[in-house]
Structures are given as structure tokens and as C-alpha cells.
Amino acid sequence: MGIFTVPIQISAAEGGESMEVEAMVDTGSFYTMLPDRLLRELGVKPVGTRRIHLADGRRILMNYGRAWVTVEGESEGTLVAFGEDDGPVLLGAYTLQGLALAVDPAKERLVPSDIIMYRAAS
């Protein structure tokens, strides 16, 4: 599968100003990650810290917060990680699953997907 990007609209979970950015689709990344400076500009506040295992093998503590994201016409609240100011914008698996979107690797695009539940409500 190649690497591809998609435009995403992001704002604080409480609303307010939003911004469109290009995000690299990264199903190997759990959280969606944006530069710390950008998230704070939009009013996204850290609500906690999580231990993150990076692709280069390092383990670091990273702030995370709540944001509203729109991708491919689908909108949902999600958790976002506060990355380095010069770091990439990543669209992670947690957000993709919340939006019911999956990767079509052949066409390098996002497509609607079914939500998987193990048992229907009684």
C-alpha cells in the first residue's frame, strides 16, 4: 500500500474555529496526530497524557485532547495527539474507525465501511 493524504477539517470538540489540513492516512498510528501549536490555535486542550510507542522504537509521553474532525463528508468527535510543531499530520485508526471509513489500498483512497459488532442489542 502506498502512502496517501486526504484533506481533513479539524476543530475543538466544543466548536469554534476550524481548519482544513492535509493528513497522511496512517492505519498503523492509533491516534490522529497534529502539531501542538495548531491544536492549541484551534482551542483544543490537552485532557491527559498517554505513553506512545513511535515507529522509530522510542517511547514517549504525549498529550492528547478531544477534537471534532470531518473526513470525506463524515464528522465525529475523536481523540487527537499533540505532536511536535514540525511533525506530520497523521490520520489514525481510532478516528478512521469512528468515522466508519476504511482504506482502499489499490486506489489509495478512503471508503465507507461497516461497523463491526459482535452481538446485536437485545
Domains of the chain and CATH, by start = 5-112 (2.40.70.10)
**Residues 110, 71: contact at Cβ < 8 Å?**
yes
Q: CB 98: neighbour CB atoms within 10 A? A: 17
Find the mean pLDDT for residues 72-83.
96
Q: What separation, in Å, do the N-terminal and C-terminal C-alpha atoms of the chain show?
A: 39
For 3-27, how does the pLDDT look when each residue is reduced to its tens digit (9 = 90+)? 899 999 999 999 899 999 999 999 9
Q: Which three cell numbers mark 4? A: 496517501
pLDDT given for residue 112 in this prediction: 95
| Four-CA torsion 113, 98, 94, 121, nearest 10 degrees | -90
Residues 6+ apart with CB under 8 A from 63: 36, 46, 48, 49, 81, 82
pLDDT higher at 51 or 118: 51
Q: What is the pLDDT of residue 55?
A: 84
pTM given for the model = 0.91
pLDDT of 122 > 70? The answer is no
